Amino acid sequence: MGALLDAWRLAVGTLTAVPVSPPRTVDARTAGRAMLLAPLAAAPLGLLVAAVAVLGRELGLTALVTAVLAVAGLAAGSRALHLDGLSDTADGLTASYDRRRSLEVMKSGTAGPAGVTAVVLVLLLQVAALTSVLREDRGWLVAGVLVCLSRCALALACTRGVPGARPDGLGATYVGSVGPLATAALWLTAAVVAALLAGVPGLLAALAAAAVVVLLLRRTVTRFGGVTGDVFGASVELALATLLVVVSAS
């Protein structure tokens, strides 16, 4: 029970701005459990997005304004951690074909042109797709659940067999901490939830999000020799954008 509580605290404390007590132990086993709990740990973020959507409708705000506020709230609620990872990953992928140079750029913490462009484009995609989703009767519910499901990307990025790019850094403890069967079970559950929520488009959205994350992981492993904490963040943002875009297309 104590180990599970540590994993829960690690997941909530890392992925949200909700204050929690620090875990007593942080090791690969705890990290793996935390990544599997990530969709549940993101529930406060999903509730935040849903609440903004409902409040925006009650106040008579347009779907576009509500979507912007919801995405802004989501960024604040996650301390923009995943957006930072997206920015650094984009900069690393475009900085150089030299692995060491790319990792140095990612570690510098400064945002380059590629990073800024990636963040802007992904946020625009999220806002545009969310605007369409919020026009539906249950849009607030769909949006909130998709936020939680997007965190399944973390388990995929931390699956055993996906190498780490460096032995240190924020993501080192998480690399390879999730078993392949556990990852498959989590994504299967996500696909079922998405299908129950949004029908066939929901199922397709889950499959598309998983495919996008796999493509990102393949590219970063090829370029960097493995994944980093920044790649974890990028996978979440791209998964969310994909889920919203595919569901909104219906």
The residue extents of the domains of the chain are: 40-248
The CA distances from residue 188 to 54, 55, 63, 85, in Å, are 29, 32, 31, 26
Q: What is the pLDDT of residue 207?
A: 98
Tokens (6 digits) for 120: 């802007």
Instruction: Determine the Cα–Cα distance for residues 230 and 111; give it in Å rounded to an integer.
Output: 12
Instruction: Determine the Cα–Cα distance for residues 7 and 191; give it in Å rounded to an integer.
Output: 24
- Closest of 213, 158, 166 to residue 34, by C-alpha: 158
**Quick one: pLDDT band at residue 215, thresholds 50, 70, 90?**
very high
Q: What is the pLDDT of residue 25?
A: 82
Q: What is the pLDDT of residue 2?
A: 67
What pTM was estimated for this model as a whole?
0.95
Res 163 pLDDT > 90: yes
Res 216 pLDDT > 80: yes
**Quick one: pLDDT band at residue 103, thresholds 50, 70, 90?**
confident
Res 195 pLDDT > 90: yes
Over residues 172-197, the mean pLDDT reads 96
Res 166 pLDDT > 90: no
Res 59 pLDDT > 70: yes
